[in-house]
């Protein structure tokens, strides 16, 4: 076996073990531990029986052979139980009982055939009884005790050896009764103490969650009205005061969120999800957030993203982002000079998974070695002076560590006082088979690129690839010419976004050029990639330290090059939201406001929140009617015409979700979209809103920019849906497939990827249609609408335009209309789905290799 094969074997083994740990780590009990211990004990006892026979005369007697055979069967049964636990990790009473039966039956049979040699196995009875009792409770202790008494009673009855030693057998029977009875008393006391501790912990978590929830209402009033105030003419001093209030409100919101997250994690309510997401977009969203903060402190904030890191992966982006935000914000907070650097690189990879290391390094105050072990404890900071100078709750690293563990990793630390700190963790992700370009079919067209000092051969390779991806590029022969062009383009408002440098060029001077480019304030944020040739005496670290974002080997790997470019243009949805809109921009939009003024119904019971929401919406030109509960909102909808409803989740008499469900069920005609507001920022609430069919969801305190953006977004989606007539010929408005979307996903030009994309689309789309059919049978319009929205999303990934349009028509209908027309809609959807699949399969065959 070659070194490469050996390394690949170790990598695959490590990935499998990590998958096992992640799956079994989510279990609520320790049954898997008992199962593994069962296998270990069975193996040890089988080896013991084998050794016992071979050491006496070198041969196994018939009884010893039977004992070894029983041991092997027992180990096989133990493996089957482990496999079942992995396949069905939820709690299973029958499986627990089966384990106890297998344990006691095997021990009883082995003791019967081994006679005197099997006395040692009696201790296994006690292991079974106590193990089941302490793990699962008193009922399982009693079950195991009864099984053990029956098994040992059968041995005493059937074995001549135990007939001869009956007093000894009676003593063992007494032991089998007394020890479990005493253990049951201890277990009951232990469980009672645990219940008290859990109740106290639950009460504490509920108190923290309740307080954080209640604090959001007055905080919403403070921050919301301050945002509105900042849209009015203010003096310089007044604006500084308002900005201080906004910054303080943002900090208080962060502290409240930390307390809420901590209480959720302690209560065991935090779950890890696995979804497809764009890692590059997530990282760019972080850069957008932290660059301004770093520049305010004159810090250099760097992102080093390895070109080997793919962007299309499957994991938990929400919790990953939360961990990185905690680490990066702490790094900026505790660093006064120097830099903060975030590095992302792969540590291992298989065909289906990749393990990625995330590292955040700073040149801040550092952490003394004697307190590094306490840094991950709740409400803990390095020292009391640190808390006084920098503030904070000490929960950031605690939450980050617990979230990393939930995702299957471990957060580690390396630090020295006065020299900064490094936090890092490794996480495994599944690789997404689907690869899509951002912003439609030409997502790289805005990625203006400059090639500097390229050799003829490298220039030819790069030019061909960039042209294929529609990337505009310019060639500069030397670094001096390149720097001048970069500055001129930036000053002209048409900046370059990427610079690629040939590290082997005599005219490029790569290290000096990077330093010069980084020193220009107008080139801040420029992505710099260097092509390193074999024989280069400098390491990748030397170039990264000089200021390059990525280092690639020459000639470039196609996938790596695409990753570098994609990392520049990838953006998270709403990544740029949250800033206060300047007065000049708002004045420029005054005319546009009148054209898009909406009639908005707001259902909110709290007077402070009523004023905040009204002020924000009216400042953007909308007309607002306020009602105090969901019941009055329904009355207003019956007697008036509205473009949008914004409702608080929890109100007296009737809450927002309940009112929306009543409206969807009873209303006919054009459906008014609903946005739900709540101070409950838990994922369960978000999922409940999504399942109920809400068109939008925002948490308090309300960010005015995000609220107005969501209002515009929901209104635009509704307007587009109304343009499409509900007629049989509506599907002709769109082509069956937009081939530029589908085949634009194949960055390598390899048909196998297209086939994989089509297969995944076929599976997901069919699942959505089946759910819609199930909802139709149950007359459940919410299930139909949710499945149709998912179908629309999957269609957009492959350019299935006509099917996406039909799904959008279904989601836009009110509940009553949706159910009335669902039969015809489903017939049309299924027909278009089959036509779409036939088209995709035919075109994939033509694009596949060798065709």
Distance separating alpha carbons of residues 489 and 384, to the nearest angstrom:
50
Binned at pLDDT 50, 70 and 90, residue 445 comes out as confident
- The residue extents of the domains of the chain are 12-164, 275-431, 446-569, 583-723, 730-847
- Give the contacts of 326 (CB within 8 A, at least 6 positions apart): 396, 397, 399, 400
Cβ–Cβ under 8 Å, residues 753 and 844: no
Whether the per-residue pLDDT at 4 is higher than 70: the answer is no
Whether the per-residue pLDDT at 439 is higher than 80: the answer is no
123-146 mean pLDDT: 87
Sheet holding 696-699, edge to edge: 623-627, 599-603, 644-648, 674-678, 696-699
Domains 446-569 and 583-723 share a fold: yes
Residue 383's pLDDT is 45
For a pLDDT cut of 90, what percent of the chain falls above it?
Answer: 6
Whether the per-residue pLDDT at 266 is higher than 80: the answer is no
Binned at pLDDT 50, 70 and 90, residue 788 comes out as confident
Distance separating alpha carbons of residues 836 and 828, to the nearest angstrom:
12
Residue 252's pLDDT is 73
Block residue for tokens 């590292």: 359
Residue-wise pLDDT tens digits, 617-676: 888 889 999 999 988 998 898 888 898 999 998 888 888 888 888 887 667 667 788 898
671-700 mean pLDDT: 76
Whether the per-residue pLDDT at 564 is higher than 50: the answer is yes
Cβ–Cβ under 8 Å, residues 406 and 319: yes
Compute the mean pLDDT over every residue in the chain, rounded to the nearest whole number. 77
Q: What is the dihedral of CA 626, 632, 636, 638, to 10 degrees?
A: 160
Cβ–Cβ under 8 Å, residues 635 and 610: no
Residue with the bigger pLDDT between 646 and 399: it is 646
- Give the contacts of 504 (CB within 8 A, at least 6 positions apart): 455, 531, 533, 536, 554
Residue-wise pLDDT tens digits, 599-610: 999 999 888 888
Q: Which CATH superfamily is domain 583-723 in?
A: Response regulator (3.40.50.2300)
Residue-wise pLDDT tens digits, 719-743: 655 544 444 444 445 677 776 556 5
Residue 794, by phi and psi: left (phi above 0), alpha (psi -120 to 50) or beta? alpha
- Give the contacts of 70 (CB within 8 A, at least 6 positions apart): 106, 109, 110, 113
Distance separating alpha carbons of residues 61 and 209, to the nearest angstrom:
67
The CATH architecture one would assign to domain 275-431 is 2-Layer Sandwich (3.30)
Distance separating alpha carbons of residues 620 and 590, to the nearest angstrom:
8
Residue-wise pLDDT tens digits, 25-69: 656 667 777 788 888 888 887 887 777 666 666 667 777 777 788
80-84, 581-585, 750-754: segment of lowest average pLDDT: 581-585
Residues in the chain, how many? 851
Q: For the chain, report the end-to-end CA distance as a whole number of angstroms.
A: 36
Sheet holding 449-452, edge to edge: 473-476, 449-452, 498-502, 527-532, 550-553
The CATH architecture one would assign to domain 730-847 is Up-down Bundle (1.20)
306-315, 333-342, 383-392, 589-598: segment of lowest average pLDDT: 383-392
Binned at pLDDT 50, 70 and 90, residue 209 comes out as low
**pTM as predicted:** 0.53
Record: fold of 446-569: Rossmann fold (3.40.50)
Binned at pLDDT 50, 70 and 90, residue 321 comes out as confident
243-257 mean pLDDT: 72
Tokens of 760: 């995944």
Residue 51's pLDDT is 78
For a pLDDT cut of 70, what percent of the chain falls above it?
Answer: 76
Distance separating alpha carbons of residues 668 and 187, to the nearest angstrom:
60
Binned at pLDDT 50, 70 and 90, residue 393 comes out as very low
Whether the per-residue pLDDT at 454 is higher than 80: the answer is yes
Distance separating alpha carbons of residues 93 and 87, to the nearest angstrom:
15
Whether the per-residue pLDDT at 357 is higher than 90: the answer is yes
394-402 mean pLDDT: 76
Q: What is the dihedral of CA 710, 711, 717, 723, to 10 degrees?
A: -170
Cβ–Cβ under 8 Å, residues 67 and 35: no
Binned at pLDDT 50, 70 and 90, residue 584 comes out as very low
Whether the per-residue pLDDT at 292 is higher than 90: the answer is no
The alpha-helical segments, DSSP class H, found in 297-418 are: 317-333, 384-390, 396-406
Residue 766's pLDDT is 83
Residue with the bigger pLDDT between 532 and 584: it is 532
Reduced to 3 states (helix: H, G, I; strand: E, B; else coil), residue 94 is helix
Residue-wise pLDDT tens digits, 795-805: 766 778 888 88
Q: Which phi and psi angles does 354 have, rounded to 5°?
A: -145, 140
Cβ–Cβ under 8 Å, residues 556 and 463: no
Segment holding 526, helix H or strand E: none
Distance separating alpha carbons of residues 475 and 462, to the nearest angstrom:
11
The alpha-helical segments, DSSP class H, found in 115-165 are: 122-136, 138-158, 160-164
CA distances from 684 to 675, 681, 688, 690 (A): 17, 9, 6, 10
């Amino acid at each position: 076996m070659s070194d490469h094969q050996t390394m690949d074997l170790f990598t695959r083994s490590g990935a499998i073990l990590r998958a096992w740990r992640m799956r079994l780590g989510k279990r609520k009990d320790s049954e898997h531990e008992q199962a593994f211990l069962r296998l270990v004990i069975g193996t040890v006892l089988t080896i013991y029986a084998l050794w016992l026979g071979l050491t006496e005369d070198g041969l196994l007697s018939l009884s010893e052979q039977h004992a070894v055979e029983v041991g092997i069967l027992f180990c096989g049964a133990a493996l089957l139980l482990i496999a079942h636990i992995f396949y069905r990790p939820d709690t299973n009473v029958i499986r627990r009982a089966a384990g106890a039966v297998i344990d006691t039956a095997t021990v009883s049979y082995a003791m019967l055939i081994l006679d005197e040699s099997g006395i040692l196995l009696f201790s296994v009875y006690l292991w079974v009884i106590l193990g089941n009792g302490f793990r699962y409770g008193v009922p399982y202790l009693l079950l195991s005790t009864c099984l053990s008494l029956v098994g040992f009673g059968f041995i005493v009855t059937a074995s001549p050896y135990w007939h001869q030693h009956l007093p000894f057998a009676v003593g063992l029977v007494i032991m089998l009764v007394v020890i479990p009875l005493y253990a049951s008393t201890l277990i009951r006391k232990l469980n009672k103490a645990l219940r008290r501790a859990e109740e106290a912990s639950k009460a504490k978590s509920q108190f923290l969650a309740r307080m954080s929830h209640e604090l959001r209402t007055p905080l919403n009033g403070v921050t919301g009205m301050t945002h509105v105030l900042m849209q009015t003419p203010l003096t310089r001093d007044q604006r500084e005061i308002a900005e201080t209030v906004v910054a303080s409100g943002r900090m208080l919101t962060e502290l409240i969120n930390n307390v809420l997250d901590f209480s959720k994690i302690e209560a065991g309510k935090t779950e890890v999800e696995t979804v497809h997401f764009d890692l590059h977009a997530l990282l760019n969203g972080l850069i957008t957030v932290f660059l301004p903060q770093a520049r305010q402190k004159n810090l250099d904030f760097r992102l080093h993203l390895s070109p080997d890191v793919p962007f299309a992966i499957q994991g938990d982006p929400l919790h990953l982002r939360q961990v990185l935000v905690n680490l990066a914000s702490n790094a900026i907070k505790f660093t006064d000079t120097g830099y903060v650097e975030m590095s992302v690189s792969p540590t291992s990879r298989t065909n289906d998974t990749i393990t990625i290391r995330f590292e955040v390094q700073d040149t801040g105050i550092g952490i003394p070695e004697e307190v590094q072990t306490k840094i991950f404890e709740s409400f803990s900071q390095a020292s009391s002076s640190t808390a006084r100078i920098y503030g904070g709750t000490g929960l950031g690293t605690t939450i980050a560590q617990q979230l990393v563990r939930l995702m299957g990793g471990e957060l580690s630390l390396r630090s020295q006082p006065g020299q900064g700190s490094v936090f890092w963790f490794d996480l495994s992700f599944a690789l997404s088979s689907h690869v899509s370009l951002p912003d439609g079919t030409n997502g790289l067209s805005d990625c203006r690129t400059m090639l500097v000092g390229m050799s003829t051969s490298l220039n030819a390779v790069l030019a061909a690839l960039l042209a294929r991806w529609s990337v505009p590029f310019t060639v500069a022969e030397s670094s001096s010419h390149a720097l001048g062009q970069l500055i001129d383009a930036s000053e002209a408002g048409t900046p370059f976004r990427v610079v690629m440098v040939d590290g082997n060029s005599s005219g490029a001077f790569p290290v000096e050029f990077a330093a010069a480019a980084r020193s220009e304030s107008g080139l801040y944020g420029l992505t710099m990639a260097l092509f390193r040739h074999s024989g280069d005496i400098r390491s990748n670290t030397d170039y990264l330290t000089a200021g390059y974002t990525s280092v690639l080997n020459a000639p470039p790997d196609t996938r790596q090059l695409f990753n570098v470019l994609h990392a520049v243009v990838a953006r998270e949805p709403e990544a740029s939201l949250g800033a206060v809109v300047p007065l000049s921009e708002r004045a420029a939009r005054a005319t546009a406001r009148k054209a898009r003024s909406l009639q908005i119904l707001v259902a909110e019971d709290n007077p402070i929140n009523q004023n905040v929401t009204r002020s924000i919406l009216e400042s953007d030109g909308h007309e607002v009617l306020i009602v105090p509960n969901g019941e009055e909102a329904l009355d207003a909808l019956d007697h008036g015409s509205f473009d949008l409803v914004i409702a608080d989740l929890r109100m007296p008499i009737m809450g927002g979700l309940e009112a929306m469900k009543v409206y969807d069920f009873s209303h006919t005609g054009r459906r008014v979209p609903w946005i739900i507001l709540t101070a409950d920022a838990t994922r369960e609430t978000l999922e409940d809103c999504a399942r109920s069919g809400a068109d939008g969801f925002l948490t308090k305190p309300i960010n005015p920019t995000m609220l107005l953006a969501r209002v515009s977004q929901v209104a635009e989606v509704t307007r587009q849906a109304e343009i499409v007539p509900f007629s049989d010929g509506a599907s002709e408005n769109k082509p069956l497939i937009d081939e530029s979307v589908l085949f634009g996903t194949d960055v390598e030009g390899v048909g196998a990827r297209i086939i994989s994309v089509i297969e995944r689309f076929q599976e997901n789309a069919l699942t959505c249609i089946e759910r819609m059919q199930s909802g139709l049978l149950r007359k459940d319009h919410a299930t139909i609408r949710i499945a149709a929205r998912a179908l629309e999303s999957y269609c957009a990934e492959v350019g299935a335009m006509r099917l996406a349009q039909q799904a959008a028509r279904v989601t836009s209908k009110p509940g009553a209309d949706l159910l009335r027309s669902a039969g015809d809609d489903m017939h049309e959807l299924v027909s278009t789905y089959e036509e779409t699949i036939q088209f995709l399969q035919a075109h994939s065959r033509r694009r596949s290799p060798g065709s």
